[in-house]
């Protein structure tokens, strides 16, 4: 963390980002589980760190957003989907199937940061959010997370009407690794004849070979990504998955007929170039795309809504996009 802080200072990052990194640096020595070999223990430490930082740097979400756990059956058993339901929605409801970040190895729907952001987005965007607690590597390698996402989507298509949600009013979205999953699920849905309404890809892991990009070479010291993706690829992909389809959006050959997209990248993010290249390819394929590069932002700083005006603009743009899709859903008859 100390290296990240010094690199951020050298890069001229704004005070809110420096304060966030300094707080993380102070917390890391108190969480030895972060260095544990056991993944369950390591995730526990990462969860504690994430929650402590979110409590300090992320604004609480609206209390009027109703939050319910749903147990969804899948081909592998059951998973938890957390439903964030905003009040007072006029007309047909819009659903957003969400996937958290964490490098395919970490993260949970139980983290404070996810609860706060999804409450805010559900209410400001006028959209029902369904946050998917997908299985994590290395215990559950690719394509387990994709399978979970598709099973959650199938469940929502079937059961959405009980929440007032028609099948054609469903979109997907995610951050970092979650953006990777959302984009791939949008592709698989299209190929299976399920037409999604939208996709929101935030600092997406659009390539699992991002170390080839200039942004990775320039900014890898500003994020916990090391010198390349070799360890992540080994943990997430393992071997023998060649028949399971693309592992990242940059491997999707045909981008036609994919849902309208919002792609947000961060100026000082190692994954910036691959995310922006994917947005460019989507637009070239005729997909309606809104894209925005968050100035001065790091890979994980979009949640600093308590202290950073740019992070608040980031969240506003996501909510506004979702609101625009919800409004469009009202204006077009079913």
Query: Which residues are catalytic, by number?
Result: 176, 269, 299
Tokens linked to 314: 């980031």
Rounded CA separation 305/334 (Å): 36
Q: Are 314 and 264 in contact (CB under 8 A)?
A: yes
Do the bridges between strand 170-175 and strand 289-294 make them parallel or antiparallel, or are there none, so unpaired?
Answer: unpaired
CA-closest candidate to residue 288, choices 315, 325, 251: 325
Q: Are 184 and 237 in contact (CB under 8 A)?
A: no
What are 114's strand-pairing partners?
Answer: none
Instruction: Give Cα 84 to chain centroid, integer Å.
Output: 16
Q: Are 100 and 300 in contact (CB under 8 A)?
A: no
Q: What is the DSSP letter of 315?
A: H
Tokens linked to 3: 């290296």
CA-closest candidate to residue 216, choices 175, 293, 274, 297: 274
Sheet (strand 66-74) strand order? 66-74, 77-85, 128-132, 95-99, 170-175, 198-202, 260-266, 289-294
């Amino acid at each position: 963390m100390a290296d990240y802080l010094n690199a951020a200072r050298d890069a001229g990052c704004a005070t809110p980002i420096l304060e966030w990194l300094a707080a993380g640096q102070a917390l890391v020595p108190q969480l030895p589980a972060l260095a544990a070999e056991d993944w369950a223990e390591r995730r526990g430490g990462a969860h504690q760190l994430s929650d402590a930082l979110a409590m300090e740097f992320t604004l609480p979400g609206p209390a009027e957003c109703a939050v319910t756990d749903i147990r969804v059956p899948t081909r592998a058993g059951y998973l938890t989907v957390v439903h964030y339901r905003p009040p007072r929605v006029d007309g047909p409801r819009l659903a957003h199937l969400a996937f958290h970040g964490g490098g395919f190895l970490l993260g949970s729907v139980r983290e404070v940061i996810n609860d706060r952001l999804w409450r805010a987005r559900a209410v400001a965007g006028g959209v029902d959010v369904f946050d998917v607690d997908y299985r994590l590597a290395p215990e559950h390698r690719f394509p387990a997370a994709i399978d979970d996402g598709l099973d959650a989507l199938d469940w929502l298509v079937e059961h959405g009407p009980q929440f007032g949600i028609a099948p054609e009013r469903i979109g997907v979205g995610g951050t970092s690794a979650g953006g990777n999953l959302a984009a791939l699920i949008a592709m698989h849905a299209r190929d299976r004849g399920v037409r999604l309404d939208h996709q929101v890809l935030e600092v997406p892991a659009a390539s699992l070979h991002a170390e080839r990009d200039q942004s990775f070479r320039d900014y890898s010291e500003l994020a916990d990504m090391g010198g390349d993706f070799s360890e992540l690829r080994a943990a997430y992909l393992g071997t023998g998955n060649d028949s399971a389809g693309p592992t990242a959006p940059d491997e999707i050959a045909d981008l036609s007929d994919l849902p309208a997209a919002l792609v947000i990248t961060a100026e000082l993010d190692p994954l910036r170039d691959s995310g922006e290249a994917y947005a460019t390819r989507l637009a070239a394929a005729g997909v309606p795309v809104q894209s925005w590069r968050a100035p001065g932002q790091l890979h994980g700083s979009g949640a600093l809504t308590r202290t950073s005006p740019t992070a608040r603009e980031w969240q506003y743009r996501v909510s506004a996009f979702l609101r625009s899709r919800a409004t469009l859903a009202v204006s077009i008859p079913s």
